């Protein structure tokens, strides 16, 4: 990881399986920000007897990852964290300097949250085949809309990676797992190419899942579905 300008210590409280933590990990690596990591598993994957760090309990208002500390200041929630890091820590910028392109990037990140993440989550928390299929259709349609932005450029906004790439990267890293869990709709080819470019970035290399991580994700979902009694011919969920 490359060194940025001196700043107060940066610490990420998060976990690789959490999509929102992945966004922050991507941005930190892509911007070359040296940081510490405190592993805080999401509630659903915490091992028995796991003790949540007192610092996290004190400063995370919702008790959810990710949370970032810069010096003695704290921020939670992935999209506000990404914007905060841009304003607080020098490094390769992922937000354009002009107000209009900056607003465009942040609006697209919010669109990704609202349009792509609900069906993504609907697939791996689905316990009925019809709902998994509906989520798959919705996700595929959203990816076509995302792909339409990639006709004239290799990147979602402007001529290089931005926080829009950070916003969507959690979906990209788990596409293989989603396809094993019922996402059987072809992904827009422009999005496939974009995902490959993102994976080749420093940030992408920092967060891309190994086959072991994908296997763990899939097995956790399958156990969830078994516990919930998956119906309608779907494989076991979440």
* pLDDT, tens only, 197-209: 999 999 999 999 9
pLDDT for residue 231: 61
pLDDT band at residue 3 using 50, 70 and 90 as cut-offs = very low
Average pLDDT over residues 9-18: 96
Alpha carbon 183 to chain centroid, angstroms: 18
Contacts of 73 (CB under 8 A, 6+ apart): 88
- In angstroms, rounded to a whole number, what is the distance separating the alpha carbons of residues 238 and 223? 8
Same-domain check for residues 132 and 223: yes
pLDDT for residue 207: 98
Let me know if residue 110 belongs to a domain: yes
* pLDDT, tens only, 30-43: 999 999 999 999 98
- In angstroms, rounded to a whole number, what is the distance separating the alpha carbons of residues 110 and 101? 14
Query: Among 149, 152, 164, 238, which residue's Cα sits nearest to residue 201?
Result: 164
CATH of the domain at 14: 3.40.30.10
Same-domain check for residues 171 and 112: yes
DSSP states of 27-87 as a string?
HHHHTT---EEEE---GGGPPTT----HHHHHH-TTS-S-EEEETTEEEESHHHHHHHHHH
Report the predicted TM-score, pTM, of the whole model to 2 decimal places. Answer: 0.91
* pLDDT, tens only, 84-129: 999 999 889 999 989 999 999 999 999 999 999 999 999 999 989 9
The C-alpha angle with vertex 97 and arms to 2 and 207, in degrees rounded to 5, equals 40
Does residue 232 carry a pLDDT above 80?
A: no
Let me know if residue 3 belongs to a domain: no
Same-domain check for residues 62 and 145: no
DSSP 1: -
Average pLDDT over residues 133-162: 94
Same-domain check for residues 57 and 122: no
Let me know if residue 150 belongs to a domain: yes
Average pLDDT over residues 153-182: 96
Same-domain check for residues 103 and 216: yes
Same-domain check for residues 118 and 83: no
- In angstroms, rounded to a whole number, what is the distance separating the alpha carbons of residues 102 and 4? 22
Let me know if residue 2 belongs to a domain: no
CATH of the domain at 146: 1.20.1050.10
DSSP 113: H
Does residue 150 carry a pLDDT above 80?
A: yes
Let me know if residue 235 belongs to a domain: no
Chosen domain end from 88, 120, 152: 88
Chosen domain end from 60, 88, 116: 88
CA distances from 201 to 61, 94, 161, 186 (A): 32, 13, 9, 24
More confident of the two residues 229 and 25: 25
Same-domain check for residues 143 and 63: no
Mean of the per-residue pLDDT values of the chain: 91
Structural domain of 162: 99-228
More confident of the two residues 234 and 87: 87
Contacts of 214 (CB under 8 A, 6+ apart): 174, 176, 177, 180
Query: Among 137, 140, 135, 131, which residue's Cα sits nearest to residue 230?
Result: 131
The number of folded domains in the chain is 2
Q: Which two tokens stand for residue 179?
A: 């396809």
More confident of the two residues 81 and 90: 81
């Amino acid at each position: 990881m490359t060194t940025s300008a001196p700043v107060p210590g940066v610490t990420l409280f998060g976990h690789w399986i959490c999509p929102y933590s992945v966004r922050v990990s991507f941005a930190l690596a892509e911007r070359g920000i040296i940081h510490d990591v405190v592993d805080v598993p999401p509630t659903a994957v915490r091992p028995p007897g796991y003790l949540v760090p007192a610092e996290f309990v004190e400063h995370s208002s919702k008790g959810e990852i990710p949370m970032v500390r810069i010096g003695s200041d704290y921020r939670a929630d992935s999209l506000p964290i990404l914007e905060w890091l841009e304003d607080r820590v020098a490094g390769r910028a992922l937000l354009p300097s002009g107000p209009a392109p900056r607003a465009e990037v942040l609006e697209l990140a919010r669109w990704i949250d609202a349009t792509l993440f609900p069906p993504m989550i609907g697939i791996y928390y689905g316990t009925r085949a019809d709902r998994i299929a509906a989520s798959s259709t919705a996700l595929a349609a959203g990816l076509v809309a995302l792909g339409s932005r990639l006709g004239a450029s290799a990147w979602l906004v402007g001529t290089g990676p931005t926080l829009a790439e950070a916003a969507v990267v959690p979906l990209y890293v788990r596409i293989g797992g989603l396809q094993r869990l019922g996402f059987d709709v072809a992904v827009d080819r422009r999005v496939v190419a974009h995902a490959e470019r993102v994976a080749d970035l420093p940030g992408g290399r920092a967060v891309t899942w190994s086959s072991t991580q994908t296997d763990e994700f899939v097995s956790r979902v399958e156990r969830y579905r078994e516990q919930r009694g998956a119906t309608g011919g779907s494989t076991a969920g979440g």
